[in-house]
Structure 1
Amino acid sequence: MVADKKPNPAHFALAQWQYHTQSSNQSLTLITQNVDDLHEQAGSTVTHLHGNLWHNRCSQCETVYQSQSRGSYHSEDTINFDDTLMTCRHCDGYIRPDIVWFGEALPVQAWQTAEDTAANCEVFISIGTSSLVYPAAGLAQLAKQNGAKIIEINPNPTPNTIVDIILAEKAGVIMPLLIQKITAL
C-alpha cells in the first residue's frame, strides 16, 4: 500500500532544512516513528525509531534482506514478495519486515540517538504525532527537562502541557513556510 506513496511538502521542507544546516551553525537530527522511506525519498538523513518497511531480516539469525520494491539494491540477499512465507537461506528462520511491532524493543542505536538528541537540543519539534505512544512520547519531556523549547505541529493539537508553541495545521502546509523563514535567517 505504501510502495507508490511520495513525499509531501513537509518531507521536502525538512530535507531542505537539513541541507541548509550543513552551511550554518544549526544542526538538525530527524527522528521518525514512520516505517516508510518518504523522508529519504525527499533527501533527508533519518533515524528510524520503528525500523524501515523496505528492510527485512531473519527473525532468528538477524541476516538482513533487501526488498526489491524500493531502491536499486540487488544481491543474493534481495527478496521478492508473494503469498508464501520466506525463509532465511542461512538458518531457515522466517524473513520479516525490519520494523518494530507492538511489544518489541526499539532498535538500541536509534533509541540512543533519539535520547541523546532530545537531551541536548535547544528546540524540539514534534510533527504530526499523538504524543501518546511511549517510549517515543517521552522524548519531548526529556528535551523540556533539559531546557528545550517544545513546538508541536499537528492539525489536532495534543493535550500535552509541556508544549511551548502549538502550530495547529497540517505539516505539509506549515513546514514549507517555517523552513522558508528559518533558512532566510
Structure 2
Amino acid sequence: MSAAGRFTPGPAHRRIVFLTGSGLSARTGLGTFRGPDGLWALEPETEQAMHADRLPDSLPQLWRVWGRMARIAQEHGPTPGHRAIARLEAPVITQNIDGLHQAAGSDVVAELHGSALRATCLGAECAWSAVLSPGEGPRPEDHGVPSRCPRCGSPTRPDVVLFDEQLPAMDLELSLRLARQADLFVAVGTSGVVFPAASLAPLAAEHGATTVLVDIDPPLEAGTVFDHVLAEDAHEVLPDWERHRNRVGGTSFLDPFSA
C-alpha cells in the first residue's frame, strides 16, 4: 500500500474524478453503514426498513432515519475532504445522500443513491419531488413536506434508493461517462463492495485512468483493484492534494475545520 504523500496528482492528470462513500462524511457524525460499528449492525431494524418490499409500512422509519441524517449533515456542513474536492474542481460520483458535496461547492455531482434532502412521490408514475427541511420524527410534516403527493395523492417518501430499487438512470449514466473520461479516478471512504459503484474503478482503468483509493482502513483486496492505496485520513490527504495543485502555501482555509 502506498504511504500518504507517495502519490500526488500531477500536471498530467487533467480529468480527475472522485467516487465517494460514507467514510468521507463520517466526521460529521453520520457514521458508516457496514462493519461492526455501522448503522446496519447497530440498528438492525433500520436495515430491515431499507428494503423496498417493506413499503409503505416502513415509511415512518425511513422518515426518521433519513431525516435525522439530513439534519446532521446540514448542521455540520462539509468536511475538509468535501471542500478539497470542490477546490480541485473535480466531478463527483457519490454513494452518499447527504448533499455535502453540493454544499462544499462541487458543480457536477452524480448521486447514485439519491438524496435525503429531497422528498419524492411513492407513486411509480409520478415525478413530483420537493426540497425538504430536515427535522426529527416519523412523519413527512416533521421534515417540511406533505404526507400526500400534491399531484396524485400517493404517500411521500425520502428520495433515497432502497435495496432492490433501481439507481436513478441519469445519475448512473453520468457516473459511467465520468469513469470512462477520467485520467485519474479516486475512490474515497467507500468499501467498494456495492455494485454498480464497485465497477467504476475497473471501468476507469480500462479506459486508461490511474486509480487510487484513499481510505483510513482499506480492505485487503484493494491492492488488486487500485494502482495506489493510501491508508490515510482523506481529510489530510485531499487538502494536501488541493494545496499542491493550486500552489497554496502554508495552511489553507480547510485546516481549521473540526468536528
- Smaller-chain TM-score bracket: 0.7 to 0.9
Q: Secondary structure at the match of 1:80?
A: helix
Matching residue's letter, 2:210: K
Q: Does 1:119 align with 2:180?
A: yes
Q: TM-score with structure 2 length normalisation?
A: 0.61
Q: Secondary structure at the match of 1:47?
A: strand
Runs (4+) of structure 1 exceeding 4 A deviation are none
User: How does 1:104-115 map onto structure 2 within 5 Å?
Assistant: 104-115=165-176
Q: Secondary structure at the match of 1:81?
A: helix
Contact map agreement 1:86 1:95 (CA 8 A) in 2:
yes
Q: Secondary structure at the match of 2:142?
A: coil
Figure out how many residues of one structure are paired with residues of the other and give that number: 167
Tell me how far 1:5 sits from its aligned partner. 2.8
Tell me how far 1:69 sits from its aligned partner. 3.3
More helix by share: 2
Tell me how far 1:162 sits from its aligned partner. 2.2
Tell me how far 1:184 sits from its aligned partner. 2.6
State, as a whole percentage, how many aligned pairs show the same letter: 33
Matching residue's letter, 1:112: E
| C-alpha distance in 1 between matches for 2:196 and 2:183 | 20
Structure 1, unaligned runs of 5 or more: 19-27, 71-78
Matching residue's letter, 2:131: Q
Tell me how far 1:89 sits from its aligned partner. 2.1
More strand by share: 1
User: How does 1:137-176 map onto structure 2 within 5 Å?
Assistant: 137-158=198-219, 159-160=221-222, 161-176=224-239
Matching residue's letter, 2:134: S
| C-alpha distance in 2 between matches for 1:100 and 1:145 | 28
Structure 2, unaligned runs of 5 or more: 1-67, 249-259
Query: Which residue pairs with 1:62 in the alignment?
Result: 127
Contact map agreement 2:141 2:147 (CA 8 A) in 1:
no
What whole-Å deviation, never above 9, does each CA across 1:68-116 have from its counterpart, x for those lacking one? 339xxxxxxxx7326xx81112212110111111111111110001001
Query: Which residue pairs with 2:83 in the alignment?
Result: 12
Larger RCO, structures 1/2 (Cα 8 Å, 6+ apart): 2
Q: TM-score with structure 1 length normalisation?
A: 0.83
1:49 pairs with 93, 112, 129, which one? 112
Tell me how far 1:65 sits from its aligned partner. 2.1
| C-alpha distance in 2 between matches for 1:174 and 1:146 | 25
